[in-house]
Amino acid sequence: MNPTDAGAARAVPRGNAAAPRMRAPSWRRPGIGKLLLPTLLIACVAMPPSARAESTAISENLPLEVQVDLLMTELRRLLEVDDNQGIIDLIPRIRALDIDIPDSLYFLEARALYRTGQALAARDRLLVYLKNTGREGRYYDQASELLLSVREQADREEARRREGERLAREALQRSEEKARTLRIREAQRYLDQLGFPLDESGDFNKPTREALAVYQIRRDLAVNGDVTDETLERLKADVPLEDNCDALARYPRVPTDYGLAIPTIASQAAIPACNDALRKSPDVVRFQIQYARALVAADRGEDAMNAVENAARLGYPAAELTIGYMHEAGMLSGNGKPDFVNALRWYRLAAADDYPPALFAIGRFTDEGRGGIKRSDTGALEWYQQAGALGYPPALSVLGSRYRTGKGVKRDYQRALEWYNQAAELSYPAALFAIGSMYERGHGVKRNKNNAVAWYKKAQSEGHAEAAARLQRLR
């Protein structure tokens, strides 16, 4: 089969045709230009695949006209054995040479593409061939028939391709939106630490834009109210992720955390640690609150109030809770007596933000009838349930105790164990201890000393005060 058109065979190296010593490729020399491949190496023996790779590497180091001869000879062989994939791989190599190639190669490539199921690519090559040669092309009739045959399949392929591209664009857009959301959420988390109370929603809302703009002004950054790389890096530098102050005086910052109860804070170590953290990062709100908590633990109410009032004024619920605790402890009353009314007022302020420790505190006041609230078991239960629904471990544990004792609800050991287990999964010591007690006493479970010991050990490892005594008794 003749792979080129007699009128279109112009495979001549560009820029070298006029060189006096350069011989034209053998298939384009005078006298055989119209014969082309049919007269070239008729006795060519099929080349094994391994030799094909070798020939590619060798031909790249040969003169251009020799490379053309070799590639066209290889094309002849591939046509003779109907190696369509080989033709598809070879023709781009011919096209890559600095030569004018015969238009007929577009047809040969199109036919090979069609035979290998690539209708869309075949259609594109056929259109190029017919545009370049018109009705004068050697393969005009075959190309026209093939174009009619391939058209419907090519249209389906193109529709699939467009759909694939659409889906890829949508996936990319979703990925970019997710990355953007995570980036905004990260900025909101840092800004919240720096005196801009924000929800980590990932929404680029007005409060977030305004907070960014104010922060950029304060830090002498380019002001655009957006999460730029420069802004995010500066935020990261301004807010330490960890500090000794966190370990010594931490408060619940997420619903599932229970922090350190103020009476358990080692104030002698926590006060200097948090003071040092504030010296390095004075704008970080969590250090202000934790420093105040350490001061409360040291019974330094006035100093604690000075440390926490800025965060309370900005509306941070942990700061409001701390002030409520000081009122409850009688540290702000002047006479040392508890001020339950003002304590409740501050607890309600914190609870308005669904802060679980504040919800729990109001439940406790309802349980005890303090601050002007009428005592109510069922009313207290509702507050505990609100805090428990947010995953707050102390509330989960108290709910377990309510169902275990039947206070305000019908006694139900299985429900009790369910609540305890939720708190135990968060390593809450009281819940670990309670489950050990249920196994020791056989409440809702078969009495099992070994299981009781295992749970008491877990409680002891989390700092539960009574666990060691129970273990000693069971040994």
pLDDT at 192: 96
**Cβ(52)–Cβ(87) below 8 Å:** no
Q: Are residues 41 and 104 in the same domain?
A: yes
Strand partners, 13: 99
Q: Is the dihedral angle over the CA atoms 33, 39, 45, 48 positive or is it negative?
A: positive
Q: Are residues 85 and 33 in the same domain?
A: yes
Q: Residue 13 pLDDT > 90, yes or no?
A: no
Running DSSP on this structure, what letter comes out for residue 262?
Answer: G
314 falls within a domain = no
Q: Band of the pLDDT at 47, cuts 50, 70, 90?
A: very low
Q: What percent of the chain has pLDDT over 70?
A: 87
Encode pLDDT of 64-103 as tens digits. Answer: 888 888 998 999 999 999 999 999 999 999 988 878 888 9
Q: What CATH number should be reported for the domain holding residue 226?
A: 1.10.101
Q: Band of the pLDDT at 228, cuts 50, 70, 90?
A: very high
Of 385 and 473, the structure prediction assigns the larger pLDDT to 385
Q: Residue 426 pLDDT > 80, yes or no?
A: yes
Instruction: Determine the structural domain holding residue 64 and report its residue range.
Output: 26-138
Q: How far is CA 63 from the centre of its chain?
A: 54
pLDDT at 31: 32
Q: List the helix and strand counts (H, then E) for the chain.
A: 21, 0
CA-based R_g, the chain, Å: 41
Q: Give the residue among 57, 27, 20 at the shortest CA–CA distance from 42.
A: 27
215 falls within a domain = yes
Distance CA 352, CA 358 (A): 9
Q: Residue 6 pLDDT > 50, yes or no?
A: no
Consecutive H or E run containing 399? helix 393-405
Residue ranges of alpha helices (H) inside 31-82 are 49-59, 64-80
- Among residues 237, 268, 291, the one where a domain terminates is 237
**One-letter identity of residue 76:** R
Average pLDDT, the chain: 88
Q: Band of the pLDDT at 60, cuts 50, 70, 90?
A: low
**CA of 214: how far to CAs of 44, 71, 188, 286, 314, in Å?**
79, 68, 13, 20, 15
443 falls within a domain = no
363 falls within a domain = no
Q: Residue 10 pLDDT > 60, yes or no?
A: no
Instruction: Provide φ and ψ at 208, rounded to 5°.
Output: -70, -45
Q: How many Cα atoms within 13 Å fall on the side-chain side of residue 376?
A: 12
pTM above 0.95, yes or no: no
Q: Among 59-68, 185-194, 287-296, 439-448, whose mean pLDDT is lowest?
A: 59-68
pLDDT at 58: 52
Q: Are residues 119 and 30 in the same domain?
A: yes
Q: Are residues 74 and 178 in the same domain?
A: no
Q: Are residues 35 and 83 in the same domain?
A: yes
pLDDT at 334: 84
Distance CA 100, CA 98 (A): 7
- Among residues 213, 237, 261, the one where a domain terminates is 237
Summarize the confidence of residues 225-244 as an average pLDDT.
96
Q: How many domains does the chain have?
A: 2
Encode pLDDT of 352-378 as tens digits. Answer: 999 999 999 999 999 999 999 999 999
Q: Are residues 39 and 91 in the same domain?
A: yes
**Cβ(150)–Cβ(122) below 8 Å:** yes
400 falls within a domain = no
Q: Band of the pLDDT at 62, cuts 50, 70, 90?
A: confident
Q: Band of the pLDDT at 264, cuts 50, 70, 90?
A: very high
Distance CA 71, CA 84 (A): 15
5 Cβ contact partners less than 8 Å away, ≥ 6 residues apart: 102, 103, 104, 133, 136, 137, 138, 139
Q: Band of the pLDDT at 16, cuts 50, 70, 90?
A: very low
Q: Are residues 130 and 47 in the same domain?
A: yes
Angle between helices 340-351 and 356-368 (to 10 degrees): 140
Q: Are residues 43 and 131 in the same domain?
A: yes
Distance CA 284, CA 245 (A): 12
Q: Band of the pLDDT at 38, cuts 50, 70, 90?
A: very low
pLDDT at 73: 92
Q: Are residues 89 and 39 in the same domain?
A: yes
